[in-house]
Amino acid sequence: MFPALETEIKPETLSDPYEDFMHHHLQYYGYFKGPTCLPSTGHAQIDAVGKDPLMLSSPLLRSRQLLYDELDEVNPRLREPRELFSFFSSRGPLQAPKWPIECEVIKENIHHIEWVPPEPEYFYQPTGDEKEPEIVGEEQGTVVYQLDSVPTEGAYFTSSRIGGKRGIIKELAVTLQGPEDNTLLFESRFESGNLQKAVRVGAYEYELTLRTDLYTDKHTQWFYFRVQNTRKEVTYRFTIVNLLKPKSLYAVGMKPLMYSQLDATTYNVGWRREGREIKYYKNSADDGQQPLFCLTWTVQFPHDQDTCFFAHFYPYTYTDLQCYLLSIANNPIQSQFCKPRALCRSLAGNTVYLLTITNPSRTPQEAAAKKAVVLSARVHPGESNGSWIMRGFLDFILSNSPDAQLLRDIFVFKVIPMLNPDGVIVGNYRCSLAGRDLNRHYKTVLKDSFPCIWYTKNMIKRLLEEREVLLYCDFHGHSRKNNIFLYGCNSNSRKHWLHERVFPLMLSKNAPDKFSFDSCNFKVQKCKEGTGRVVMWRMGVINSYTIESTFGGSTLGSKRDTHFTVEDLKSLGYHVCDTILDFCDPDQTKYTQCLQELKELLQQEIHKKFSNFGQDVDLEASWSDIPLSDIESSTSGSDSSLSDGLPAHLLNIANELNQKMLLKKTKKKRLQTRKQRNEQYQKNYLMRELKLAEDTPTQLSGRNKGTSLEPPLTSLVLPKNKETVQSKKPGFTASCSPKRSTNSGLGPAPDVKANWPRTRYPAPRKERSAVAAVYPSLHIYTYP
């Protein structure tokens, strides 16, 4: 590499294969112009050259990525690749989200303040007098907002760009006729927004239609939109008309969220629960497809001419995550033990971030002894409560708390804060841009269609090869049950029997007013085999969980019948850290107590089950031999069949191939008998000869004397019975004369008319009789 060293290197010394390969590689890409190989014995000379400023300034060395140590001395090795690692800069802007090219995006930046209500926000108590407005539709109402850039059914994701659709952004809201016009102005073309259409059906009543997940016709649950031109002290009614789930927390007291821009700027008040006359009911309009459900509520806005937002839950966007990660990267202390990396790029090209959190180890042995903990969130983009739990976890684990420092000393945390950034950006509820639920595809081999899941699984697979993974948690949201709970996996091994239930029981003791152990379920259903928790469990992670947080609130303890705030969810992130310390405490007292309590709870559950069936069981002897899967009921999670299968673009290709194969099968039928095969062979042969004769016509002057005009019996005949197949009577001519004159053709002479009896040559089709008259001397062999 360096000419000054060539005289000191012995020519008989063999070069290191790896060094030789790397030098060839770097020279090919233009980093070095010197010799291509350097023997391994020259490493000492390299160290010497590394400290020689004259050598480092040599024009032969073209790399600008040399590292400097604490004494400003150069270490001759390359920096880490910039594209993969260094993507945050305090001097430059954040990476702008990339949208599918079909989506229109407004230029305004939407930002909300964080705020905790000073008083508990209680559930709505139904009175029984709530109205069920009849759906009028745009036939009798006025459309005041409608997206016209949503992909149609059967479409699939093709490309993306910053800012989405090219061209001028249309004004979708209606034009106000004057200051007295009180029509609300709707908008949802911003990050995580979701509203398809708004129809004004009364002076202060609006019917709202949500947009389904992109490239699907399903999953209408998440909503997030803006209204302007409000009037205070007036009761407005909003009705969402196309929800898909038959059960909802709105039916048991959950309220929508509202945010006032004037309240935020004037009084520092953020998101709060609002709504009266809340009713969740079935849509009476039957479109002949899947049944739809409606959510209606009334509200009074606090100010005139205000800008307000409504949401299903507290939004947490991709930009919010990037701002948070940027603050970590710019923090001189936190950046020492939290390393943001790019795990992969999503389908739209947005970065999927991976955080590695651990304190530096003093020795390699200490580093290798650390166990790993893997946490992830937002695989379902509309479940923003998962991001708030993750935010609380990160706030604590990155703090200077003694417990946080201890956790960083003994664990390596691998954190993926947003698994599905594309879905979060476009406002999907459940799917990625592939039109599929990512939490059903952890077993996939389609890296290009599901990159976020594929790279996550392979990251954990490599991690398992390096160290033990103590815990895997995937944070989700739940729309039909209150409280926080989890789904786990039953262990069939008696060695670890009931051990997978210790962590959730400890978590319920640390957060008794939020976490419900009774709502947990550990049964592994066949339809959930592709979920993250099941796949990681089968890979060897015993404590593999899906933590479900309600969109509503708590029915436990001091927080009974109140909605969760962002602080409640963030506190659960802290409780997860606290429970990890309890779970791994060298003093196993808590662990043993929980295990004993689990056995007692299980005995009670078995006794209850058998009592319901009118049977008796000896709990002292054989209760531990009963499979746990027989005791638990199935989970109440979402039906995986709704979003399972191939991604949208491959599904279209598969459907086209299936249709082609079906047409191909209907056109070609297999010939079953020898007779059918002979007939088909003769027919094909005649058609080829006819085509050949038409392509090369020849005028005939006559025939040789030796040419027989009588055709053989096997020519041009599709035999119907045995008498018509190759007669063996004496004097019968079986074939035409083998010799012809050079000017003879395939057709008969003009002055010769064939007079063959029709009875000897049956021709059921017109083509055969015509061909037989023109070509009497053709001979066709049949199959034996």
Residues near 769 by beta carbon (within 8 Å), at least 6 away in sequence: 763
Distance CA 322, CA 724 (A): 87
Token digits of residue 664: 């191909």
Among the listed residues 366, 383, 548, 632, the single catalytic one is 548
- Sorted by sequence, the CB contacts under 8 Å of residue 271 that are 6+ apart come out as 112, 115, 257, 258, 259, 311, 314
What is the three-state SS of 588-604? CHHHHHHHHHHHHHHHH
Q: How many CB atoms lie within 10 A of CB 230?
A: 22
Q: Which of 147, 158, 44 is nearest to 98 (CA)?
A: 158
CA dist 249 and 347 (Å) reads 33
| Residues in contact with 300: Cβ distance below 8 Å, sequence separation at least 6, in sequence order | 232, 233, 234, 235, 236
CA 326 to each of CA 168, 330, 338, 353: distance values in angstroms, whole numbers, following the listed order = 31, 6, 12, 12
Q: What amino acid is encoded at 175 in this protein? A: T
Interior angle at CA 691, CA 690 and CA 694, nearest 5: 90
Please give the Cα distance from 507 to 389 (Å, whole number): 14
Task: Tell me how far apart the alpha carbons of residues 12 and 9 are, in angstroms, rounded to a whole number.
Answer: 9
Please list the alpha-helical segments (H only) found in 108-208: none
CA distance 53 to 228: 65
Alpha-carbon torsion (580, 584, 585, 590), positive or negative: positive
Q: Determine the Cα–Cα distance for residues 254 and 256; give it in Å rounded to an integer.
A: 7
Q: Minimal CA–CA distance to 334: which of 396, 392, 388?
A: 396
Question: Residue for token digits 């001519």?
Answer: 733
Give the number of other CB atoms < 10 A from CB of residue 444. 18
Distance CA 521, CA 426 (A): 32
Amino acid at residue number 641: S
Residue 596 CA neighbour count, 13 Å, CB half: 6
How far, in Å, CA of 134 to CA of 139, rounded?
Answer: 13
SS3 assignment for 385-400: HHHHHHHHHHHHHCCC
Cα–Cα–Cα angle for 366, 370, 375, nearest 5°? 150
- Between CA 212 and CA 431 the distance in angstroms is 10
Is 656 a catalytic site residue? no
Is the separation of the CB atoms in 379 and 563 below 8 Å? Answer: no
Q: In this structure, which amino acid lies at residue 129? A: D
CB 296 within 8 Å of CB 138: no
Check the CA dihedral 323-326-331-337 and report its sign.
Answer: positive
312 with 221: CB under 8 angstroms? Answer: yes
Residue pair 39/45 in contact (Cβ under 8 Å)? The answer is no
Give me the DSSP letters along 727-741. Answer: ---TT---S--S---
- Any residues with CB less than 8 A from the CB of 321 and at least 6 apart, and which? 353, 387, 417, 418, 421
CA distance 240 to 135: 10
Nearest to 109 by CA among 226, 20, 14, 217: 226
Q: Please, how many CA atoms are within 13 Å of residue 38, restricted to the half-sphere of its CB?
A: 21
Where in the sequence numbering do the catalytic residues fall?
A: 548
